Every structure is written in structure tokens, then in C-alpha cells.
Amino acid sequence: MIEEDFYATVKLKTGEEIFAKVAASEEEDRTMLLVSNPVIISEIKNNKLEVVGYKIEPWLKTTSEDLLIINLEDVITMTESSDIEMIILYQNYIRQSSKKGNSSKISRKMGYLANVNDAKEILEKIFKSS
């Protein structure tokens, strides 16, 4: 049985803190969390230690899976988020990261490409002429 999903901050026993859309699922004798596109959100501060923005990055960087399962026993605490600003930041990040997956391949039309020998020769000519 899967409960209705919600946005939440989850603190894991490993010390990691993730933000994701979460749904709880009970299977046999244990509870699992289904987390959708979990991310790590870091505050960016200026020299006066005031928060000026947030950095959002994927929790797991080596997978393309968007739905992950976490055993509830591995969770220290979890809190439902009603912070609209954080939810909008998360949704925008997910939308943008899904568009990046459809990006085009690098081509010569995007800019000048050179091999190492050609670039070395051009740079040596520039150096000798200066």
C-alpha cells in the first residue's frame, strides 16, 4: 500500500540530508520510502555569512533513475515541507535537468574545434610574433 506523496526533507543515518517528493510504502513487515529525484540543497553565503542563494545537485550523481527506495530504518527524521519557495526551486531544477538529458551533441557549428597539434602550432606563432 502506497500513501499519497509529499515534499519532504529526509535526514539519513549517514548524515546526508536530502529533499525529494516522498511516498511511504508498507511491504510485509517493513516501511520503505519511495523518493523521487532526491537532491541535496546547500546554502550559498556571502562574506557577511548571509544566505544569498541555494545550490541544488542530485543526491546520487552516477544514476539516471528518478525513483529510489530507502528503508525507513535508515532514516533519522523526516519532515514534510510546506515551504513554497523550496518546492518551486526543486520543481524548476527537476524540469531543467530533464531538459538537459535531451541536449544536442557537440558539433563544429557550436564553435571552433582543433586538434592538439594545430592548436600548439597556432599558439607558438602567436607567442613568437609578440
pLDDT at 101: 55
pLDDT of residue 49: 75
Helix (H) or strand (E) holding 77: strand 75-80
**Residue ranges for the chain with pLDDT beneath 70:** 1-3, 100-114
Helix, strand and coil in the chain, % to nearest 5: 30, 40, 30
Enumerate domains of the chain plus CATH numbers.
6-129 (2.30.30.100)
Residue 96 CB coordination number (10 Å): 10
For residue 41, give the H/E element and its range: strand 30-45
At 23 the pLDDT is: 92
Give the model's pLDDT for residue 107.
61
- Please give the pLDDT value at position 6: 94
Residue 37 pLDDT: 94
CA–CA dist 44, 93 (Å, integer): 16
Write down the pLDDT at residue 109: 60
Using CA atoms, how far apart are residues 130 and 58, in angstroms rounded to an integer?
Answer: 46
Whether the Cβ atoms of residue 43 and residue 67 lie closer than 8 Å to each other:
no
